[in-house]
């Protein structure tokens, strides 16, 4: 919440695929402030997606030659219309699906994943759900309870540990799911439209919650969404995918993201710009 002025949004023009990584071509920001070089550029990427293509069986190409490097601690939003393969890309990173060609390198421990539905075990209390993740990670029994309570504390649910999922609201369930994902102790966290099913007020609060957790834990987050404002609100980088086949259409890099709110003017401005681009992509499909 310090120094960086609100207007220090910058973007990287990267219509072509090779432009994504180099970060050499920095176009002026839409609001006219000189772009800030991304601090993550020289760092070894934690996730490297290298010319990845994907098709299911003999079907059409879903993802076409995607290349993307994600630096440790980065918050990347994958944005696109329905059917652009953004969830497929996430599943590829998670290792739930094999790639058709290309390569993906992730940390050897793998990545934690969170879905649109909380997918909590309905017969376990919130704490037990988190403990299950700890157990599957190999944490000794004696330490699980305390660790689970600590993790529930990080999502402000320390008091709800003994409640079962059906006794919790949708937002609380997603926070338990977040605590469970954090329990895996993996540096990369993949989120597949985790707040899509929630009402706007809850989602707004969860954005703040997630940003707080992200800053506190230093996780690398890849966040898939079809909500332009959500992407503009959360991401340090917003990557727009085109549809059928999914390609990286454009990328925005944002500096000084602390203190952003969904109603902040720079979020609105960026969202408007992204929307224009997104509509352009959709229009292309009509032709």
Partner 1 sequence: MPLETVKIPATAAAGDELDTLSAGLDRLQSEEDQRSSAWRTIVGKVLPPVVLLIVLLVAWQLYVVIAQPRPDLAPGPLQVAAALGDAWESGRLQEAVATSLERGILGFLIAIAVGTPLGMLLAEWKVLRRAAGPLISGLQVLPSVAWVPAAIIWFGLSDATVYFVILMGAIPSIVNGLLSGIDQVPPQLRRAGVVLGASRWQLATAVILPAALPGYLAGLKQGWAFSWRSLMAAEIITGAGTMGFGVGTMLQQTRELADLAGVLGTILVILAIGILIELVLFGPLERRLLRSRGLAPGGAR
H-only helix segments in 2-161: 19-22, 86-94, 126-137, 141-154
Residues 141, 166, 286, 287: which binds partner 1 (CB under 8 A)? Answer: 166
Q: 113, 188 in Cβ contact below 8 A?
A: no
270 makes contact with partner 1 (CB under 8 A): no
- Residue whose CB is less far from partner 1, 115 or 252: 115
173 makes contact with partner 1 (CB under 8 A): no
Query: What binding mask, one character per residue, do residues 193-212 give for partner 1 by CB under 8 A, x or -?
Result: ------------x--xx--x
165 makes contact with partner 1 (CB under 8 A): yes
What number of H helices and E strands is found in the chain? 8, 9
Residues 40, 73, 88, 115: which binds partner 1 (CB under 8 A)? Answer: 115
178 makes contact with partner 1 (CB under 8 A): no
Q: State the nearest-atom distance from the C-beta of 197 to partner 1, in Å.
A: 12
113 makes contact with partner 1 (CB under 8 A): yes
d(CA 119, CA 177): 7
Q: State the nearest-atom distance from the C-beta of 165 to partner 1, in Å.
A: 7
Closest CA to 153 of 178, 135, 171: 178
Closest CA to 11 of 240, 254, 231: 254
Applying CB under 8 A, which part among 42-50, 80-88, 111-119, 139-147 lies near partner 1?
A: 111-119
Q: State the nearest-atom distance from the C-beta of 161 to partner 1, in Å.
A: 16
Query: What binding mask, one character per residue, do residues 131-150 give for partner 1 by CB under 8 A, x or -?
Result: -xx-xxx-------------
Half-sphere exposure of 116 (CA within 13 A, CB side): 10
119 makes contact with partner 1 (CB under 8 A): yes
Size of interface with partner 1, in residues (CB under 8 A): 28
d(CA 104, CA 251): 19
Applying CB under 8 A, which part among 8-16, 53-61, 106-114, 267-275 lies near partner 1?
A: 106-114
**E strand or H helix at 182:** helix 170-183
Q: State the nearest-atom distance from the C-beta of 189 to partner 1, in Å.
A: 11
Half-sphere exposure of 236 (CA within 13 A, CB side): 22
Applying CB under 8 A, which part among 12-20, 41-49, 160-168, 219-227 lies near partner 1?
A: 160-168
Q: Write the burial class of residue 182 (CB in 10 Å: 0-12 exposed, 13-18 middle, 19+ buried).
A: buried
Closest CA to 62 of 35, 90, 40: 90
Other CB atoms within 10 A of residue 131 CB: 24
Positions in the binding site for partner 1 (CB under 8 A): 94, 96, 110, 112-113, 115, 117, 119-123, 132-133, 135-137, 156, 164-167, 180, 184, 205, 208-209, 212
């Amino acid at each position: 919440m310090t120094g960086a002025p609100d207007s220090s949004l910058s973007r990287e023009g990267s219509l072509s695929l090779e432009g994504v990584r180099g970060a050499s071509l920095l176009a002026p920001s839409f609001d006219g402030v000189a772009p800030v070089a991304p601090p993550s550029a020289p760092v070894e990427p934690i996730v490297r997606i290298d010319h990845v293509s994907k098709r299911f069986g003999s079907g059409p190409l879903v993802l076409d030659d995607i290349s993307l490097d994600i630096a440790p601690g980065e918050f990347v939003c994958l944005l696109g219309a329905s059917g652009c393969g953004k969830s497929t890309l996430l599943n590829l990173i998670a290792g739930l699906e094999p790639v058709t060609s290309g390569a993906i390198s992730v940390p050897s421990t793998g990545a934690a994943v969170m879905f649109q539905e909380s997918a909590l075990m309905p017969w376990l209390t919130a704490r037990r759900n988190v403990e299950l993740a700890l157990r599957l990670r190999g944490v000794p029994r004696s330490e699980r309870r305390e660790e689970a309570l600590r993790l529930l504390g990080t999502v402000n649910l320390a008091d709800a540990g003994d409640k079962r999922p059906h006794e919790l609201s949708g937002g609380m369930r997603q926070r338990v799911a977040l605590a469970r994902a954090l329990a895996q102790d993996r540096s990369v966290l993949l989120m597949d439209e985790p707040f899509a099913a929630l009402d706007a007020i809850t989602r707004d609060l969860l954005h703040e919650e997630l940003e707080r957790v992200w800053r506190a834990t230093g996780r690398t987050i890849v966040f898939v969404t079809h909500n332009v404002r959500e992407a503009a609100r959360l991401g340090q980088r917003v990557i727009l995918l085109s549809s059928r086949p999914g390609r990286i259409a454009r990328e925005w890099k944002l500096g000084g993201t602390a203190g952003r709110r969904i109603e902040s003017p720079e979020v609105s401005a960026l969202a408007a710009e992204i929307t224009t681009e997104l509509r352009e992509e959709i229009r292309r499909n009509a032709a």
